[in-house]
């Protein structure tokens, strides 16, 4: 049976759809994004859903003959608060009975799919070369001051991540400038630029988080925002972070002289 795709916003689901198209017949793609036609070339059937409708999604997946699904891409958090009355009955039930953090909501959605014998598979297996390795990743190595801030940021995230908010923090000169919340990493970076105009970004994954979905992700937009905001080093968790469009990403990192560092959480920085 084929693998279906639930596609949110961003580049990631487009790249996954392209890869799936190479290894199997065209997929069913359920698009929760403003530009569903971007996915049309890779879809055997393309379904555009303006708001989350898990009940319809399950029916479409079964009718297409799939028993596996990948979930990838951003779903704007404001949908949860602004449009819940437009959700279908199953989606409203999940929203009502789950905590509102990403991990809890996505875990409840995965359970609903698995209850219907639909297996959720890890999207990183489709894009293994996108996973960050450890150590120096860019042409420029971090300075010792940047590494000190990265180490401090890692300690902050070890405290905040178990509380289920944010995957990233900005640190400058040993001070926390900004912590990611519902606004997402890009807007946190913009806010950090307004507050300090310097510093490092550290991005990690919550311990025990299900690696089938919601891996920390960075891309060229991350670097563009860092450059505009005066932030000079990006540290990501090795083996648990996706780097989108890696060739373009590292060319841009070198152009902006942004140091990119892969954290091995078991080792000292």
Q: Is the pLDDT of residue 262 over 70?
A: yes
Q: DSSP for 13-78? A: HHHHHHHHHHHSSPEEEEE-SS-GGGGGGGEEEEEE-SS--HHHHHHHHHHHT--EEEEESB--TH
Average predicted confidence (pLDDT) for the chain: 89
Mean pLDDT score, 172-183: 94
Q: What is the pTM (predicted TM-score) of this model? A: 0.86
Instruction: Work out whether the CA dihedral 80, 114, 38, 128 comes out positive or negative.
Output: positive
- Which residue, of 90, 125, 160, is where some domain finishes? 125
Angle of helix 54-64 versus helix 102-115 axis, rounded to 10: 40
User: Among 39-43, 53-57, 139-143, 222-226, whose mean pLDDT is lowest?
Assistant: 53-57
105 and 162 both lie in a single domain: no
Banded pLDDT at 107 (limits 50, 70, 90): confident
158 and 225 both lie in a single domain: yes
pLDDT reported for residue 78: 59
SS3 state of residue 7: strand
105 and 170 both lie in a single domain: no
Domain residues for the domain of 181 are 128-263
pLDDT reported for residue 208: 75
92 and 219 both lie in a single domain: no
CA within 13 Å, CB half, 214: 21
Banded pLDDT at 209 (limits 50, 70, 90): confident
Spell out the alpha helix ranges (H) of the chain.
Answer: 12-23, 54-64, 78-82, 89-97, 102-115, 144-160, 185-195, 220-229, 246-256
- Which residue, of 76, 107, 125, is where some domain finishes? 125
Mean pLDDT score, 182-207: 94
Mean pLDDT score, 179-192: 93
Mean pLDDT score, 73-86: 62
As a whole number of angstroms, the distance between CA 42 and CA 263 comes to 35
151 and 210 both lie in a single domain: yes
Banded pLDDT at 102 (limits 50, 70, 90): low
As a whole number of angstroms, the distance between CA 9 and CA 34 comes to 8
pLDDT reported for residue 84: 54
CA within 13 Å, CB half, 146: 20
35 and 91 both lie in a single domain: yes
pLDDT reported for residue 105: 74
pLDDT reported for residue 219: 96
**Structural domains counted in the chain:** 2
Instruction: Examine residue 185 and state whether it is found in any structural domain, yes or no.
Output: yes
pLDDT reported for residue 111: 87
Mean pLDDT score, 13-18: 95
The alpha carbons of the chain give a radius of gyration, in whole angstroms, of 19
Tell me 161's DSSP state.
G
61 and 135 both lie in a single domain: no
């Amino acid at each position: 049976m084929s693998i279906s795709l639930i596609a949110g916003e961003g580049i990631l689901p487009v790249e996954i759809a392209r890869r799936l198209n190479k290894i199997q017949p065209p997929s069913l793609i359920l698009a929760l994004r403003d530009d569903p036609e971007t996915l049309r070339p890779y879809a055997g059937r393309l379904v555009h859903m303006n708001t989350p409708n898990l009940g319809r999604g399950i029916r479409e997946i079964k009718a297409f003959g799939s028993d596996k699904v990948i979930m990838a891409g951003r779903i704007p958090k404001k949908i949860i608060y602004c449009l819940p009355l437009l959700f279908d009955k199953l989606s409203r039930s999940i929203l009502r009975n789950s905590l509102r953090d990403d991990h809890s909501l996505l875990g409840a959605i995965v359970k609903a799919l698995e209850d219907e014998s639909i297996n959720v598979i890890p999207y990183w297996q489709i894009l293994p070369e996108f996973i960050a390795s450890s150590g120096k990743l860019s042409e420029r190595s971090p300075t010792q001051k940047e590494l000190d801030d990265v180490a401090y940021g890692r300690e902050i995230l070890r405290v905040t991540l178990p509380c289920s908010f944010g995957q990233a923090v900005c640190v400058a000169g040993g001070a926390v400038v900004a912590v990611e919340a519902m606004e997402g990493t890009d807007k946190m970076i913009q806010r950090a630029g307004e507050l300090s105009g310097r510093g490092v970004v550290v991005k990690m994954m919550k311990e025990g988080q299900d690696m089938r979905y919601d891996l920390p992700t960075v891309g060229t937009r991350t670097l563009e925002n860092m450059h505009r905001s005066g932030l000079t080093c990006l540290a990501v968790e090795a083996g648990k972070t996706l780097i989108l469009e890696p060739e373009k990403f590292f060319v841009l990192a070198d152009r902006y002289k942004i140091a990119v560092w892969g954290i091995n959480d078991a080792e000292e920085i």
